[in-house]
């Protein structure tokens, strides 16, 4: 069976607080662990009223303390916002607290708007174009410290922290392939370059001791419920939130609205939409998810569910886990000729 992961933004809903969001994040992680999800990742975002996971490493530690087996990590840390040493120390600490459970996904976007990006980076002499060299520097801090090494990550040096490259374009695919790292593509909000990125990653991948073959995890939105109509209604919260974000006005996650339950102009094919989303009953989601995996040959899926009601959100993740058990992965596609969706 293809592994599933959770991508949580610790959503802050209308009428709720950040403290409420953190309690729900922990509850979701505990349920996801019981349902067999492989990973529980949190994402760095800033200056967004509806997202509570800005202090990502802190929240990962909180989730790690409340769970026992599920892998925890970042999906991701926006590396240009930080010094590589700082991230090595943070995730060296996490991996020391929760050995064998911590992942570190790295992105080069700011995870916010321009004004907040300036505020975040004003004490850093950083350039997003330096992302590949920053990743290499960060990887070096996780190696065993060498004699006379002037700067060490303590903790961090010699600590096992698997690194992933995140991306929504071919740039991240090239970095991941060159460094022989696993790659996670953000098809849940920017699928336009999905197939180009996967092809570049698979063709150019350089094997390493840690990873012998390409490994791709794809982000997808899932809203599953007991009926298609109920799922479309629940998905309207995320639709409103995404529309507001695209217009430059991020908001708290709103309650569902029948007015936003369906967009008649939205293509039926999930890969033709502005976001890859599977919305419907368990049977509908199972079919959509299975077709997506058949087309992409993904190794893993990471699911985000923007649902206002916490109980409905839990139910959606439970149904998605059940749906994934009804089909098996067809393989990563590594070593095959390049392919493309018809």
**What CATH number did the domain enclosing 64 receive?**
3.20.20.30
Taking the C-alpha atoms of residue 258 and residue 260, their distance in angstroms, rounded to an integer, is 5
- Three-class SS string for 235-284? HHHHHHHHHHHHCCCCCCECCCCHHHCCCCCCCCCHHHCCCCEEEEEHHH
Let me know if 87 is exposed, middle or buried by CB neighbors in 10 A (0-12, 13-18, 19+): buried
In a domain, 330, yes or no: no
In a domain, 239, yes or no: yes
Q: What is the pLDDT of residues 24-58, one digit of tens each?
A: 999 999 999 999 999 999 999 999 899 999 999 99
pTM of the shown model: 0.89
Range of the structural domain that residue 23 is part of: 4-324
In a domain, 341, yes or no: no
Confidence of residue 273 (pLDDT cuts 50, 70, 90): low
What per-residue confidence (pLDDT) applies to 302?
Answer: 98
In a domain, 336, yes or no: no
CA 198 from chain centre, in angstroms, equals 16
In a domain, 308, yes or no: yes
pLDDT mean across residues, the chain: 89
What per-residue confidence (pLDDT) applies to 269?
Answer: 54
In a domain, 255, yes or no: yes
Q: What is the pLDDT of residues 212-239, one digit of tens each?
A: 999 999 999 999 999 999 999 999 999 8
Mean pLDDT over residues 195-215, rounded? Answer: 97
Give the dihedral of Cα atoms 315, 278, 71, 65; nearest 10 deg: -40
What per-residue confidence (pLDDT) applies to 119?
Answer: 76
Q: How many domains does the chain have?
A: 1
Q: What is the pLDDT of residues 147-158, one digit of tens each?
A: 989 999 999 999
In a domain, 335, yes or no: no
In a domain, 331, yes or no: no
Taking the C-alpha atoms of residue 86 and residue 205, their distance in angstroms, rounded to an integer, is 28
- Three-class SS string for the chain? CCCEEEEECCECECCCCHHHHHHHHHHHHHHHHHHCCCEEEECCCCCCCCECCCCHHHHHHHHHHHCCCCEEEEEEEEHHHCCHHHHHHHHHHHHHHCCCCEEEEEECCCCCCHHHHHHHHCCCCCCHHHHHHHHHHHHHHCCCCCCCCCCCCCCCCCCCCCEEEEECCHHHHHHHHHHCCCEEECCCCCCCCHHHHHHHHHHHCCCCCCCCCCCEEEEEEEEEECCHHHHHHHHHHHHHHHHHHHCCCCCCECCCCHHHCCCCCCCCCHHHCCCCEEEEEHHHHHHHHHHHHHHHCCCEEEEECCCCCHHHHHHHHHHHHHHHCCCCCCCCCCCCCCCCCC
């Amino acid at each position: 069976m293809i592994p599933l992961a959770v991508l949580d933004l610790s959503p802050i809903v209308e009428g709720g607080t950040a403290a409420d969001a953190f309690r729900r994040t922990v509850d979701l992680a505990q349920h996801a662990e019981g349902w067999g999800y492989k990973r529980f990742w949190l994402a760095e975002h800033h200056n967004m009223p509806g997202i509570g996971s800005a202090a990502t490493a802190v929240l990962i530690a909180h989730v790690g303390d409340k769970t026992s087996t599920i892998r925890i990590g970042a999906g991701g840390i926006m590396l240009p916002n930080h010094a590589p040493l700082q991230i090595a120390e943070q995730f060296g600490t996490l991996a020391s607290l929760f050995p064998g459970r911590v992942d570190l996904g790295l992105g080069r976007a700011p995870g916010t708007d321009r004004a907040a990006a300036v505020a975040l980076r004003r004490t850093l002499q950083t350039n997003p174009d330096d992302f590949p060299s920053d990743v290499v520097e960060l990887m070096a801090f996780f190696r065993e410290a060498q004699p006379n090494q002037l700067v060490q990550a303590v903790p961090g040096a010699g600590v096992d922290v698997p690194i992933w490259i995140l991306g929504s374009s071919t740039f991240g695919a090239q970095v991941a392939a060159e460094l022989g790292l696993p790659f996670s593509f953000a098809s849940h909000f920017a699928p336009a370059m999905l197939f180009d990125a996967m092809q570049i990653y698979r063709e150019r991948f350089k094997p390493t001791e840690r990873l012998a073959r390409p490994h791709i995890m794809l982000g997808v939105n899932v809203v599953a419920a007991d009926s298609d109509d109920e799922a479309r209604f629940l998905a309207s919260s995320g639709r409103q939130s995404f529309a507001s974000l695209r217009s430059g006005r991020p908001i708290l996650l709103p309650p569902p609205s029948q007015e936003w339950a369906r967009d008649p102009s939205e293509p039926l094919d999930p890969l033709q939409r502005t976001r890859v989303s599977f919305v419907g009953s368990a049977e509908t989601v199972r079919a959509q998810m299975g077709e997506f995996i058949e087309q992409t040959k993904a190794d893993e899926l990471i699911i985000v569910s923007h649902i206002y009601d916490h109980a409905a959100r839990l139910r959606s993740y439970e149904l998605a886990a059940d749906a994934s058990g009804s089909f098996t992965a067809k393989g990563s596609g590594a070593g095959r000729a390049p392919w493309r969706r018809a």
